[in-house]
Amino acid sequence: MPVTTPGRDTYTWRRIRAAIRTATGPCARCGRPLHPELRHPHPYSTTAGHIIAVEDAPELADDPRNVRPEHLRCNTADGAHRTNRKRRGEHNTTLITSPDWA
């Protein structure tokens, strides 16, 4: 069991997140302006979002090229969508039926 989780609480991740929080560009998800002066947990504070989700590409979790600035609310909305898809038994978009099943 690892002590730290890439993309969540490693030293590298904390450095990426600290750099992302000073970003001034638009939110990568909604395109609206970021507000570096707002602090977590404000819904419009800036957070580091993964371009490819950690569960899809754990090896890219701590890769700065896989991280972009997003509003906290935009980031958590995506997480909720993923959770809901899982809850409905969907994973990504393709459902593969085992040939043994028929």
* All residues at 6 or more sequence positions from 49 whose CB lies less than 8 Å from its CB, including other chains: 28, 29, 67, 68, 69, 70, 74, 75, 78
Binding of Zn ion by 72 (CB under 5 A): no
* Token pair belonging to 33: 């302006």
Least distance from C-beta 2 to Zn ion, angstroms? 31
Binding of Zn ion by 48 (CB under 5 A): no
Closest residue to Zn ion: CB criterion: 27
Least distance from C-beta 89 to Zn ion, angstroms? 29
SS (H, E, C) 74-99: HHHHHHHHHHHHHHCCCCCCCCCCCH
Count of residues that bind Zn ion according to CB under 5 A:
5
Binding of Zn ion by 79 (CB under 5 A): no
Least distance from C-beta 30 to Zn ion, angstroms? 3
Contact 92/37 with Cβ under 8 angstroms? Answer: no
Binding of Zn ion by 74 (CB under 5 A): yes
* Token pair belonging to 14: 């904390």
Binding of Zn ion by 71 (CB under 5 A): yes
Least distance from C-beta 24 to Zn ion, angstroms? 14
